[in-house]
């Protein structure tokens, strides 16, 4: 894939200036830009700047409201419920996570639901906010219905990602950031852009048969014609698909049912924008359970043992959750963030439309996930 490299700071600056042109405050524009670029820097381009056009359409159609007033509708010493009233997902999510961290400093643990929000980027961004505080972080969101229940053929829940972060000492933090479906819709969109056939086991069509054509699948999911993405573990129960299905429903319960928000098929995307969604955040102080330094040392022992365990034949390394992404970030800080040429062309076109100079290219890049 033809790619170019762009400076991390330049890419954030471009996105921030663009969001300000679209009506966001300077602070909210910076937060939204930082979250989007973090996805590219961590090797998750499906949630990165390639989504800019979709954010622009969301703002233009009124699905995403740059100046919405976020309301606290319920609060205790250990809990919060925000009504975002259609606000941009990233700024309200950063503030929600900051709130649970503040509460956890006093109470040991705290949790927050956010309802009537919008796409918030990568869940791991928010879970990782707890790491400098010697806390465990938790973040999840529901999405428009895209996932197929075990033995079903109609989408009944979202890709519903879960992120969990735990600090270590000398090792990198453990950061699990995963969808509860086999892949996300963003991954399907990547295959559509590349004109590639979908691997068997990712999704089923409107008749419940293995889906191969990414474009047809995306169209059917958008217009609710049937078909969708399979749960973690795949179709049926043989490889644990019912477990991924259960996790996805758990996310809907914590994000939506708990906050009184729409869930399952009641959530829908449009051709212009993602649907209004809900989030759930949590922070737990390690010292509410044990000495944080001792916890970090034991995390080192666990993660190092995983990292140094023997690789399978044909493999070169064993990773733990988050390690690849941290290594990708380090390379991006040195070399610039790799952006597909097509995506960079879109950024330039968007820049021309809104009078914002595109970020300069620092170098060409030949890149595939996991290597720079």
Q: How far apart are CA 128 and CA 124, in angstroms?
A: 6
Whether the predicted pLDDT of 272 surpasses 80: no
- Residues 130 and 254 grouped into a single domain: yes
- Whole-model pTM over 0.85: yes
- Residues 103 and 162 grouped into a single domain: yes
pLDDT tens profile 142-158: 999 999 999 999 999 99
- Residues 257 and 161 grouped into a single domain: yes
Per-residue b or e along 303-329, where b marks 16 or more CB atoms closer than 10 Å to that residue's CB: beeeeeeeeeeeeeeebbbbbbbebbb
Whether the predicted pLDDT of 268 surpasses 90: no
Straight-line distance from the first to the last Cα atom of the chain, in angstroms, rounded to the nearest whole number: 12
Q: 298 lies in a domain? A: no
DSSP states along 75-133: EETTEEEEE-TTB-HHHHHHHHHHHHHHHHHHHSEEEEEEEEE-----THHHHGGGGGG
Whether the predicted pLDDT of 231 surpasses 90: yes
- What CATH number did the domain enclosing 34 receive? 1.10.1530.10
Q: Which two tokens stand for residue 90?
A: 């990233």
Q: Which two tokens stand for residue 135?
A: 């806390």
349: domain range?
Answer: 2-61+336-366
Report pLDDT for 46. Answer: 87
Q: Is 306 helix (H, G, I), strand (E, B) or coil?
A: helix
pLDDT tens profile 164-174: 999 999 999 99
- Residues 144 and 33 grouped into a single domain: no
- Residues 148 and 165 grouped into a single domain: yes
Q: How far apart are CA 113 and CA 46, in angstroms?
A: 25
* Domain count for the chain: 3
- Residues 145 and 102 grouped into a single domain: yes
Q: Is 339 helix (H, G, I), strand (E, B) or coil?
A: strand
Q: List all residues 6 or more positions away from 184 whose beta carbon is below 8 Å from its beta carbon.
A: 46, 47, 159, 161, 229
- Residues 250 and 102 grouped into a single domain: yes
- Residues 90 and 175 grouped into a single domain: yes
Q: List all residues 6 or more positions away from 141 whose beta carbon is below 8 Å from its beta carbon.
A: 89, 120, 123, 158, 160, 161, 251, 255, 277, 278, 279, 280
Q: How far apart are CA 235 and CA 130, in angstroms?
A: 35
Q: 187 lies in a domain? A: no
Mean pLDDT is lowest, of 57-71, 101-115, 356-370, for 356-370
- Residues 217 and 269 grouped into a single domain: no
Q: What is the mean pLDDT of the chain?
A: 94
Tell me which residue of 126, 129, 135 sits closest to 162, measured CA to CA: 126
Q: 128 lies in a domain? A: yes
- Residues 236 and 87 grouped into a single domain: yes
């Amino acid at each position: 894939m033809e790619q170019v490299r762009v400076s991390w700071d330049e890419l954030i600056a471009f996105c921030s200036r663009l969001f300000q042109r679209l009506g966001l405050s300077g602070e909210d524009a910076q937060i939204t830009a930082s979250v989007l670029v973090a996805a590219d820097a961590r090797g998750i381009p499906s949630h990165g700047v390639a989504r800019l056009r979709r954010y622009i359409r969301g703002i233009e159609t009124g699905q995403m409201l740059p100046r919405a007033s976020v309301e606290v509708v319920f609060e205790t010493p250990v809990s919060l419920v925000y009504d975002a009233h259609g606000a941009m997902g990233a700024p309200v999510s950063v503030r929600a996570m900051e709130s649970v961290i503040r509460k956890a400093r006093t109470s040991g643990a705290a949790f927050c639901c956010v309802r009537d929000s919008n796409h918030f980027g990568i869940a791991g961004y928010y879970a990782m906010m707890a790491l400098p505080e010697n806390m465990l972080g938790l973040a999840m969101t529901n999405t428009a219905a895209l996932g197929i229940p075990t033995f079903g053929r109609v989408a009944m829940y979202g890709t519903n990602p879960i992120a969990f972060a735990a600090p270590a000492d000398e090792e990198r933090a453990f950061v699990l950031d995963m969808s509860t479906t086999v892949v996300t819709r963003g991954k399907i969109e990547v295959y559509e852009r590349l004109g590639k056939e979908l691997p068997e086991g990712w999704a089923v069509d409107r008749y419940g048969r293995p889906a191969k054509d990414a474009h047809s699948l995306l169209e059917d999911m958008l217009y609710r014609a049937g078909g969708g993405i399979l749960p973690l573990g795949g179709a049926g129960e043989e490889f644990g698909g019912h477990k991924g299905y259960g996790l996805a429903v758990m996310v809907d319960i914590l994000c939506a049912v708990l906050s009184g928000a729409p869930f399952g098929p009641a959530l829908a995307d449009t051709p212009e924008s993602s649907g209004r969604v809900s989030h759930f955040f949590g922070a737990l102080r390690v010292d509410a359970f044990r000495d944080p330094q001792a916890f970090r040392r034991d995390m080192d022992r666990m993660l190092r043992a995983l990292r140094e365990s023997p690789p399978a034949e044909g493999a070169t390394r064993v990773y733990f959750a988050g390690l690849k992404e941290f290594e990708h970030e380090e390379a991006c800080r040195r070399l610039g963030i790799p952006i597909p040429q097509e995506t960079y062309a879109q950024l330039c076109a968007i820049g021309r439309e809104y009078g914002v100079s595109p970020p300069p290219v620092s170098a060409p890049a030949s890149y595939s996930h996991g290597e720079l």
